[in-house]
A and B are shown apart, each in its own frame.
Chain A
Amino acid sequence: MRLQFDRGTIVLTDPPKGLDLAEAPGVLWDPRVRAHRAPASKYPALKLWLHQRGAGFQDIRAPTPPVQELWSDVDLRPYQDAALAAWELGHRRGVVALPTGSGKTRLALAAMQRTRLSALCLVPTRVLLDQWLREIGALYRGPVGCYGDGVRRWAPLTIATYESAYRHMDQLGDRFDLVIVDEVHHFGCGLRDEALEMTIAQARLGLTATPSRDAAVRARLTELMGPTVFELTVADLAGGFLASFDAITLYVDLAPDERATYAGLAAVFNAALADFRRTAPDGSWAEFNRCSVRTAEGRRALAAWRQMRRLLAFTCAKRRALASLLDRHRDSRVLVFTADNETAYAIAREHLVMPLTCDIGRSERDNALERFHRGDLRTLVSARVLNEGLDVPDADVAVVVGGALGEREHVQRVGRLLRPGEGKRAVVYELVTRNTIEVGQARRRRQGLVVRRSAQL
């Protein structure tokens, strides 16, 4: 019998008589090619099943390991060591949840170095792709592969964006023994999950600062990566391995003309929402959207919703408050977070501060971060680029002018400030407009910090 990796699956040909492959884990008969086939992720279980039955087979070629001598030692903090030990105890499968700034990438590097396995690291964005390449390059002297940002280069240690992994896993799936997924909470909800099913890697390590609370997502993630094996929160590390911080909410008002516009838009939107609630009391936002696009009234309501958000993104009062905060903290390193790129550019124009958005090229972005680190730039403004994973040096003040993605985004944003420093105490300002939808949104996004913190205390 022969096992062959075929574009993200394992094809089994010429089985010995008497061996019923239909009972093997994950195996189905594929009438298209007249052979048995299993998802590549079932490969370890399938091999075990065949060994238990004493069935001989020609195996697929083992992945090429990296050269161990080219690794430098990777030192870990005590909690990182504990996390790695927990993962090892979990048979090298599982998710480690650690706050932003606590060194998840370093933990991943230690996992690669200590297991000596060929490894594929998946990261959500091109910005993080560069960052991981730099970090691995600092500790591993051999070539490092890269899939993403127009590059397709394989090596026993390879970094890939989620998108590239999804597209190329049919070719990469049999080349690695270990898969590491940064910001693993993006998986488990169906989108791109196949990327993790199309690889034979038995060892799997997921990293996140914001593990999902949805039971279905957690169950799916457990199936794909393994269970959560170690978890610490901001509260566990703040004041020690992470900087302490103050969270300050500044409530601002709408100007009279803004209020009038807002009231008009809210009336249109609320009427449609109330109608929807009457027919579907437990209907979700997605259902409301689907329902609304079918009628002219619904479409007007959605347009009103978008206009409300645009209006609230950068009101006159927020403008004034931001100007005052930037003035007050002119000697600090400040990050300004907005709900959208348009607002980021508006702030950049008004206060002459560097925007970091998806439209700004990679080398310019790196250059800006380097200048921020040196102190040549004191303020950066961003909608989403700074949200997740990116290593922002030395920021100590954040101003959240607006947000679009809720609790998870907020936790990640706060995490940008928590890199420890001697005597450092970070400040997070949130600008919230009174008597608008922002009040509820701000309350919900803060829950991510409050609930998790109180659960630990």
Chain B
Amino acid sequence: MSADLLSYSVAGTLVVPHYLGEHDHPWLQVLLEEHERFIGRPQRDLEARLRDPLPCDSPPRKLRLAIKVLGRLRPHNRKSVVPPRQTRAHVFGAAARTSGPPPAVWTAVATSLGVSVEDLQGSLFADLPGERIVAEPVQPLSTVELALRCNLALVQEMLFRATVVSVEVEGNARVLVRHAKWRGLICGVAERPGRTSATVELSGPFALFRNTRLYGRALGELVPLLAWCPRFRLQAECIFHGRRLTLQLGAGDPIFPARAPRRYDSLLEERFAREFRRFAPAWDVIREPEPIAAAGTLIFPDFALRHRFDPTRRWLLEIVGFWTPDYVARKLALYRSAGLSNLILCIDEQRNCAEADLPPGARVLRYRRRVDAAAVLRAIETTTCAR
């Protein structure tokens, strides 16, 4: 997306996005109606129409952004009697072979293919972006949703210029950490003393040397995920025209949320939670309990198991499954340094972890293909919990 679609102002060192809100709904409605009018017509006609202003006041940058976002959401159809590629091969080949005028070429090719000249001409470039047919939307789109989607595109595009992002987040920090690891970012997580929130700092390895936009896309992808954190405050260092500016976002900003993150990381976890609930009705299974401080960072156990009538009986459960040996070693080292006495580690037999590698005090259950919920229940029922 080009920079001339971004609507923002600069206040000191802060960059402030100009969100689309209720005051923009009238012209967004007109824009949606214009789109409706062009259903069944070529995309290029719609594009030509949208090059001219709307019949009502509309901020130019916001309008361009909305057109772009709408373009991505609307499906297109192709309409051709003869496959376009085949049409081009026949028509241009025939034109090169003969010295006749173009109308004669059209007629000759149309006759040989058994179609009308009009159909043949309509098929020539039917697959090109401008020639595709504007189609009905899959789902009706409201002005409110369009505005929220535009806002998401706006802040994502601004974050694509980010070098470092810091997020103070309450709950669901795991989703950010998971994303950071998946995208190869360096992720530092720190608890705030006396507060329930954690601060997640994200940047790329190369960001140490330069204000690089190399990781902008990965950082921008965080935005829709944040909508699933109950509370957050994001601060990003961004580069705009060579200037370093700070972008701040917070819970409550009008941004379209991503699809809800998956509740479980794997089918293995999902199956365990289901089976444990069935086997142990007196126990609550808490997915993604609060993180635990260890060696200057935070670790995120997969589950907490808490007795419904005696909350002091509480266990943390971590399933160490499909990962590299290096990952397992680092994870176990973190758990060792945390010194937890209420930890159950479920380790895939194929990981070949030596006893010496395991955290002292942890209960270890080895599994093959599925974590045995009954075995976990036996382990916690027969052991006194220290924490």
Contact = CB atoms under 8 A, between A and B. Distances in A.
Interface of A: 6-9, 26, 28, 30, 32-33, 37, 39, 166, 170, 194, 197-198, 290, 293, 299, 330, 342, 345, 348-354, 359, 361, 364, 367, 371, 376-379
B205 A353 contact: no
A348 B95 CA distance: 11
12 contacts: A26-B209, A30-B205, A170-B184, A194-B206, A198-B206, A290-B241, A293-B4, A349-B124, A352-B95, A376-B96, A377-B93, A379-B96
A148 to B, nearest CB: 17
> Which DSSP category, helix, strand, loop or mixed, fits chain A's interface?
mixed
Contacts of A28: 208-209
Contacts of A166: 214
B212 A194 contact: yes
Contact of B102 (A342, A351, A361, A367): A351
Given A30-B208, A359-B128, A364-B88, 4 more contacts: A8-B206, A194-B214, A351-B95, A352-B92
A9 B92 contact: no
Contacts of B61: 293
Contact of A37 (B92, B93, B105, B208): B208
A22 to B, nearest CB: 13
A9 B206 contact: yes
A330 B206 contact: no
Interface in B79-131: 85, 88-89, 91-97, 99, 102, 105, 124-125, 127-130
The 8 closest A-B pairs by CB, nearest first: A352-B95, A354-B92, A7-B205, A9-B205, A359-B128, A32-B186, A378-B96, A377-B96
Nearest to B89: A367
B137 interface: no
B361 interface: no
A184 to B, nearest CB: 20
Contacts of A342: 130
Contacts of A352: 91-92, 94-95, 102, 105
Interface string B1-29: 00010000000000000000000000000
A192 to B, nearest CB: 9
The B interface is mostly helix, strand or loop, or mixed, namely helix
Interface string B162-196: 00000000000000000000001010100000000
A367 B85 CA distance: 11
Contacts of B210: 194
Nearest to A372: B96
B60 interface: yes
A63 to B, nearest CB: 20
Nearest to B109: A352
A32 B203 contact: yes
B105 A6 contact: no
A50 B61 CA distance: 53
Nearest to B102: A352
Interface residues of B, number: 36
Nearest to B94: A352
Given A330-B99, A376-B96, A345 B208 contact: no
Contacts of A32: 186, 188, 201, 203, 208
A7 to B, nearest CB: 5
B301 interface: no
A201 B340 CA distance: 46
Contacts of B96: 376-379
- Most chain B CB atoms below 10 A, which of A6, A26, A352, A359: A352
A37 B102 contact: no
B204 interface: yes
Contacts of B127: 359
Given A293-B4, A349-B124, A6 B205 contact: yes
Residue among A7, A37, A166, A290 facing the most chain B CB atoms (10 A cut-off): A7
A7 B204 contact: yes
B206 A39 contact: yes
Given A354-B92, A361-B85, A364-B85, A37 B205 contact: yes
Interface in B252-291: none
A33 B185 CA distance: 12
Task: Tell me which of B125, B203, B206 has the highest count of chain A C-beta atoms within 10 A of its own C-beta.
Answer: B206
Nearest to A345: B125
Contact of B208 (A9, A290, A350, A354): A9
Contacts of A6: 205
A28 B206 CA distance: 11
A225 B203 CA distance: 27
Contacts of A33: 186
B99 A359 contact: no
Contacts of A26: 209
A166 to B, nearest CB: 8
A349 B131 CA distance: 13
Given A7-B204, A364-B88, A353 B60 contact: no
A150 B92 CA distance: 30
Contact of B205 (A8, A290, A345, A349): A8
B240 to A, nearest CB: 11
A298 B184 CA distance: 43
A170 B214 CA distance: 10
A276 B212 CA distance: 32
Nearest to A37: B208
Nearest to B241: A290
Nearest to A38: B209
Interface string B190-229: 0000000000010111101110101000000000000000
Contacts of B95: 351-353
Nearest to A361: B85
A350 B102 contact: yes
A194 B61 CA distance: 30
Given A299-B60, A352-B105, A376 B93 contact: yes
B86 to A, nearest CB: 10
A303 to B, nearest CB: 8
A392 B85 CA distance: 21
Contacts of B184: 7, 170
A92 B377 CA distance: 66
A353 B201 CA distance: 56
B129 A359 contact: yes
Contacts of A367: 89
A359 B124 CA distance: 13
A330 B203 CA distance: 59
A190 to B, nearest CB: 10
Contacts of B208: 9, 28, 30, 32, 37
A36 B186 CA distance: 14
B196 to A, nearest CB: 24
A290 B127 CA distance: 35
B35 to A, nearest CB: 21
Contacts of A376: 93, 96-97
